[in-house]
Amino acid sequence: MDVPPWHWAFEAVQQGATAGIFTGYPTDDSELVANALVQVYEAFAHAGHPGAQGWAEWFLTNTPSQWPQPLQRSRLLTFALEDVRVRVSGDRARATFVAAVIVGTDGGRSTLRSPVQAQAEKDGSGHWRIDYTALAAGQPQIFR
């Protein structure tokens, strides 16, 4: 299920998925990697929600030793991932995209656009996870 816990439909979707009513989860690896990227940004945009840490951890690998402080420091307000391109090779993938973000600042808000390269790996259960270290290198102002 890829509806985050802060979404208004979370409980209904969770119940529907558990009951077998909802099917159709993306199966294409490129689409799953792109979805994992979106979910990581979602967690950072909702860092104050009690479910954000678990949600981020479900989609991340290679988190720093000081985790979850980077999530707790997040000032990400909104985001759009543009021109997402994913190249999959076995259980590894590389994604390139432009991240257009709005972050909170002491004086209000700031808009940033950054080209980002991210790496992902598929774990033993077939779940794609984004490499935090590579993502942070591409956009340190968000994943600091």
72 within some domain: yes
* End-to-end Cα distance, the chain: 27
pLDDT tens string 16-75: 666 666 666 667 899 999 999 999 999 999 999 999 999 999 999 999 999 999 999 999
Residues 6+ apart with CB under 8 A from 32: 26, 128
pLDDT tens string 73-100: 999 999 999 999 999 999 999 999 999 9
40 within some domain: yes
Bridge partner list, 95: 86, 118
CATH code, 74: 3.10.450.50
pLDDT at 24: 60
- How many whole angstroms separate alpha carbon 64 and alpha carbon 14? 30
52 within some domain: yes
pLDDT at 84: 97
4 within some domain: no
Q: In the chain, how many domains are there?
A: 1
Mean pLDDT of 118-126: 94
Range of the domain at 113: 28-138
pLDDT at 4: 62
Q: How much is the pTM?
A: 0.85
37 within some domain: yes
